[in-house]
Amino acid sequence: MRLCSLLLSCIMILLLSGCFLTKVVTVPMRVGGAIISIVPICGDTIDDAIDEAADLVDEVPL
């Protein structure tokens, strides 16, 4: 049973593509940027910087 769960875990790790892994990182970044954009004076600037960083993370070839 332990070998089966280990094998299943290895197969799941291999099937996860880089696109999925980067989305796990960038979605919280984008949500945080959207929340910060509510700040009146500097929110949009910070949101733009976070979006640029998230775009760079999306382009990482995993």
Q: What pLDDT sits at residue 17?
A: 60
pLDDT for 12? 75
In the numeric block, the tokens 């910060």 are attached to: 36
pLDDT at 11 over 70: yes
At 14 the pLDDT is 66
The answer for residues whose C-beta is within 8 angstroms of residue 61's C-beta and 6 or more apart is: 18
Q: For 15-52, how does the pLDDT look when each residue is reduced to its tens digit (9 = 90+)? A: 666 677 777 788 899 999 999 989 888 889 999 999 99
Task: Tell me the C-alpha distance between 26 and 17, whole Å.
Answer: 15
Domain boundaries, the chain: 17-62
Amino acid 35: pLDDT: 92
Higher pLDDT, 9 or 35: 35
